[in-house]
A and B are shown apart, each in its own frame.
Chain A
Amino acid sequence: MGDVISLYNDYKDHADFLTIYVREAHPTDEWQMKTNVKEDVCYAQPKNLAGRVAIANDFIKRFRYPVPFGIDDMSNAANDAYAAWPERLYVIDESGHIAYRGGMGPFHYNPKELRAWLSARYGEVNHEEKPAEQPQGQSSQPEKKS
């Protein structure tokens, strides 16, 4: 979570950001993780849109999450279109095309790779983390812009 907020704070002057809340990954009535219990993040899988909206608002309040937010509706249209579950990163360019496709979470969810992509395009922005590695594999190489 911190990685995404850091990316947003560093690159929001260059790109727009949108978080899309999709169906829960580890709800209490499915595959709950011990870490969720430890961190008191215990929710059943929402059965309706009101449930999703309530959890999304809890999330925003708990983390004081600053990134613009949208909620996938119960048809899971955004999730299905982007093969997004449980977590994933993309960049859409100015012309409406996929410019960067991150790996499928959780194992290939890699904010550092996205940071490298943004850095290659806009230059490194001051941040707390050490310089990220160059993106590999699934992304197109962006043209650097000032």
Chain B
Amino acid sequence: MRPFLKWTVAVVLLLLVAAFAVLSFIAGSPKDAYGMVRYALPHMHRGTLKPGDDAPDARLVMLDGVGSFHLRERTAGRPLVLVFGSFT
């Protein structure tokens, strides 16, 4: 292997290790850093909606698991505050 290539590989590996170390510090532990990269980042999106845009509609299921309604059915007359989240 050429010396230049060796150094390039070594520097890249070093940067990756350093990045993972920083992420581990931010996340709390190496396990959390892995969890963040593996499970969180692929699902986190800033999105393109902005104030003034038409609010998208979506079908939502009721707590009985049977009934459903459309989000936009709830927007007639008054502002609608949307709170997205989960239990965990």
Annotate A5-24 by CB proximity to B: 1 below 8 A, 0 otherwise: 00110010011111111111
Q: How far is the CA of A25 from the CA of B40 in the complex (A)?
A: 8
Residues of B within 8 A of A93 (CB): 79
Are B65 and A98 in contact, with the CB atoms below 8 A? no
**How distant is B30 from chain A, measured CB to nearest CB, in Å?**
13
Is there contact, CB below 8 Å, between B55 and A97?
yes
- Contacts A7-B81, A23-B43, A23-B86 hold; do A97 and B60 have CB atoms under 8 A apart? no
B60 near A87: Cβ-Cβ < 8 Å: no
A113 vs chain B, min Cβ distance (A) = 12
In the complex, what residues of B have CB within 8 A of residue A25's CB? 40, 85-86, 88
Which residues of chain A are within 8 angstroms of B83 by Cβ–Cβ distance? 4, 17-20, 67, 89
> Smallest CB-CB separation from A54: which chain B residue?
B65
Contacts of A99 in B (CB 8 A): 51, 79
> Is B52 in contact with A79, judged by CB distance below 8 angstroms?
no
User: Can you list, as one digit per residue, whether each of B16-43 has a CB less than 8 Å from chain A (1) or not (0)?
Assistant: 0000000000000000100110111001
Give the size range of B's interface with the partner.
35 or more
Nearest CB in chain A: distance from B1 CB, A: 37
Distance A110 CA – B86 CA, assembled complex (angstroms): 16
A108 to chain B: closest residue by CB: B46
Beta-carbon contact of A20 and B82 below 8 Å: yes
List residues of A (40-56) whose CB comes within 8 Å of B's CBs: 41-43, 49-50, 52-53, 55-56
Q: Evaluate whether A31 and B36 lie within 8 angstroms (CB atoms) in the complex, with A18-B71, A83-B49, A98-B52 already known.
A: yes
Q: Is the CB of B60 within 8 A of A78?
A: yes
| Closest B residue to A95 using CB positions | B75
> Does B84 count as interface, using CB distance less than 8 angstroms?
yes
Chain A contacts to B: CB under 8 angstroms = 4, 7-8, 11, 14-27, 30-33, 36, 41-43, 49-50, 52-53, 55-60, 67-73, 77-79, 81-94, 96-101, 104-105, 114, 118, 121, 138-140
- Beyond the given A86-B40, A89-B83, A97-B54, please list 6 additional residue pairs across the A-B interface where CB-CB is below 8 A: A19-B84, A20-B71, A22-B85, A90-B82, A94-B77, A98-B52
